[in-house]
Structure 1
Amino acid sequence: MGGRRLRGVALVAVGLIAALGMGACGAGGDSGSDSAAPAADGGAGRDAAAEGGADSDQAAPGGTGGADLRVDQRSIIYTGTMQVRVDDVEAAAREATTAVTAAGGFVGADRRSSRAAEARAALTLRVPADRFAAVIDRLAGLGRQERREIRTEDVTEQVVDLDARIATQRARVESSRKLLARATSVDELVRLENEVGTRQADLAALEARKRRLADLTSLSTITVTFLGQDASTAEEEADLGFLAGLGGGWTAFLASARVLLTVLGAVLPFAVVIGVPLWLLLLWRRRVRSRRTPPPGPGAMLPPGLGPMPPGPAGPADGPVSAPPPVPAARSGP
């Protein structure tokens, strides 16, 4: 009996051990297959991401992804100001004009002074935006550059906003025209005509702003000043301090005095021609009135306060003065 029990216990123990081993093998196989699947998926995902990144880099240079932030796709206004000192102002101005014309631009303004001591030329040049930097460098090479200032303004958002507003306004104009074509009464016809006119005016204003921005972005502006060797600086820096304020105040006072004297000189002839005769006429009328007014007679009515004086108390020459009657004393009760 004891041997059978030991064999039964041993068989049960072997069965349990076998069952546990099979469960462990199954769990290990499942976990291995699960871990292998994500690894394979991750490798495929990385390959796809690499291919997508390569495609996106090809679509948008610079590796910026889907957003296109290239400078040539933005609306930027370039403005440059520079001052160059040269030996021959006229020759430098001619070379600048030639350079701008060759770049596809034109001269917007030309102001020159040919005096020997103060020879200068101020040119306002309009050049294509893509040739702005090249023209700036070409102008700086005509002499000794003393000052350069370049400003940029990004108006991309304004251009996009104007495009959207123009499209919306055009749709509103078209809808108003369709309603105008179906008008059935005079009142409705007049109202719709006014609405169409208002919307067309708004559309024209938006399109004018768009053309202005397009002109500023397509053609940059360069203001260059050529100075002779003996010419003074065109723009002096403003001085600060008490003396500068005193000088400015004195200049303003002299300017105000000149304006006042100018006004006085303009008014003086009118005052002499009109004022003097008018003053003489008033003086003559006053004298005539004083002569025509007669003096008041004995029976004339005098104004209040100017009548005969009332008689005063009698003096010693008028006789004795009687004393006032005695006042009886007040009686007390019985």
Structure 2
Amino acid sequence: MTPPSRTAHRAAAACLVAVAAVTTACSGGSSDDSSASGGSATSAEAPRAAAVEEDGAVLDQAGTAFTANKAEAPEGPDRKVISTGNVALRADDVAKARFDVQEVVDEHGGEVAEERTATDDDGEVERSRLVLRVPSARFDEAVESLTGVAELVDASTTSEDVTTQVLDVDIRVRVQRRSIARIELLLDRAESIRDIVAIEAQLSRRQAALASLEKQQDYLADQTSMSTITVSLERTPKARTVAEEDDDSGFLSGLAAGWDGLSATTVAAATVVGALLPFAAVALLVAVPAWPLLRRLRRRRLAAE
């Protein structure tokens, strides 16, 4: 029977080897630590030489999950595609066209994510820009329906297959979560302060990497489930008639120019009169009481002569 003290020493040694293996696998296994640990260096190099394989993925010496053999993009409905579209339309009544666009969005189970509308001096809608989100499965139908809302100016669509990227991120997330679970288990078994600090540092690093991967996963899920369509609406410019074009150099054009000149002259004369009127009023106030005095002085001069 093995003595109790010997069994405890073996358990402590096994725990230290496991901690060293995890720390080396997470941090890349610095050569200084390996040389300082002496006989445990050989055990610490083991996880670096042979990575752990899980669900078609492995963990490298830095603890980052990556696909050993990248899965090829599946065909058919399992493909993940990010689709975007741009539709430019013209309409005599932009407000009505905007209402028709909303009907198309509702029909295809989408939503208006962003909208900017401009009006003219009379308060009528002159142009509008809408950013639509529609289910990816109905993207082509929605674009086709939008092109029939009003006069089509331009339409374009782009699609990017991100199936491999989605699979890769999903695998990374699963492997990172399992790695964190194993590190948490080692943290519960650690006894020395040094081991606890080392394991907690690696745990924080793994958790930060997992949070970043989960954000990528959510973004890809949103972009592949809902497609984006940008719709631009503008008012159809009014066509000029032949009579209006002839009037530019005919009688009506000359009459309009003459009237504009007369109006400008009248405005200028009125401006001058308005500027002189205060001076005239002051002169009148001075001249009215002074005029009888001037006449009396003139009579006295004549009488004296």
Query: Are 1:114 and 2:104 matched, yes or no?
Result: no
CA deviations 1:55-99 (Å, max 9, x no partner) are xxxxxxxxxxxx985332100011001101112111211221232
Equivalent pair of 2:85/2:229 in contact (CA under 8 Å)? yes
Which of the two has higher C-alpha Rg?
A: 1
Which residue identity does 2:135 align to in structure 1?
Answer: P
Q: Pick from 77, 94, 108: which aligns with 1:89?
A: 94
Equivalent pair of 2:89/2:151 in contact (CA under 8 Å)? yes
Which residue identity does 1:202 align to in structure 2?
Answer: A
Q: Pick from 211, 221, 240: which aligns with 2:218?
A: 211
Which residue identity does 1:208 align to in structure 2?
Answer: K
For 2:77, the equivalent position in structure 1 comes to 72
TM-score under structure 2 normalisation?
0.51
Equivalent pair of 1:79/1:150 in contact (CA under 8 Å)? yes
CA deviations 1:101-151 (Å, max 9, x no partner) are 332211111011121698111000000001111111111111111101100
For 1:187, the equivalent position in structure 2 comes to 194
Compared CA separation, residues 120 and 71, structure 1 to 2 (3 A) = farther
For 2:103, the equivalent position in structure 1 comes to 98
Name the CA distance, whole Å, in 2 between partners of 1:124 and 1:114.
Answer: 19
Query: Are 1:228 and 2:235 matched, yes or no?
Result: yes
Name the CA distance, whole Å, in 1 between partners of 2:85 and 2:144.
Answer: 11
3-state SS in 2 of match to 1:136 = helix
3-state SS in 1 of match to 2:190 = coil
Query: 1:163: how far off?
Result: 1.4
Name the CA distance, whole Å, in 1 between partners of 2:208 and 2:112.
Answer: 33
TM-score under structure 1 normalisation?
0.47
Which residue identity does 2:156 align to in structure 1?
Answer: E
Q: Pick from 166, 187, 203: which aligns with 1:196?
A: 203
Equivalent pair of 2:117/2:125 in contact (CA under 8 Å)? no
User: Structure 1 runs of 4+ off > 3 angstroms?
Assistant: 67-71
Name the CA distance, whole Å, in 2 between partners of 1:74 and 1:208.
Answer: 20
Equivalent pair of 1:118/1:230 in contact (CA under 8 Å)? no
For 1:172, the equivalent position in structure 2 comes to 179
For 1:247, the equivalent position in structure 2 comes to none
Name the CA distance, whole Å, in 1 between partners of 2:163 and 2:74.
Answer: 11
CA deviations 1:23-55 (Å, max 9, x no partner) are xxxxxxxxxxxxxxxxxxxxxxxxxxxxxxxxx
Which residue identity does 2:78 align to in structure 1?
Answer: Q
Query: Are 1:147 and 2:154 matched, yes or no?
Result: yes
Name the CA distance, whole Å, in 1 between partners of 2:108 and 2:188.
Answer: 51
Which residue identity does 1:76 align to in structure 2?
Answer: V
* % same residue: 36
Name the CA distance, whole Å, in 2 between partners of 1:97 and 1:107.
Answer: 8
Which residue identity does 2:94 align to in structure 1?
Answer: V
Name the CA distance, whole Å, in 1 between partners of 2:109 and 2:205.
Answer: 39
For 2:141, the equivalent position in structure 1 comes to 134
Name the CA distance, whole Å, in 2 between partners of 1:155 and 1:186.
Answer: 45
Which residue identity does 1:85 align to in structure 2?
Answer: R
Name the CA distance, whole Å, in 1 between partners of 2:168 and 2:81.
Answer: 15
Give the structure with the higher percent strand.
Answer: 2
CA deviations 1:222-266 (Å, max 9, x no partner) are 0010111129xxxxxxxxxxxxxxxxxxxxxxxxxxxxxxxxxxx
3-state SS in 2 of match to 1:119 = strand
Which residue identity does 2:196 align to in structure 1?
Answer: L
Alignment of 1:21-40 (within 5 A): none
Equivalent pair of 2:73/2:163 in contact (CA under 8 Å)? no
> Structure 1 stretches of 5 or more lacking a match?
1-66, 232-334
Equivalent pair of 1:84/1:140 in contact (CA under 8 Å)? yes
Name the CA distance, whole Å, in 1 between partners of 2:90 and 2:137.
Answer: 26
Which residue identity does 2:232 align to in structure 1?
Answer: T
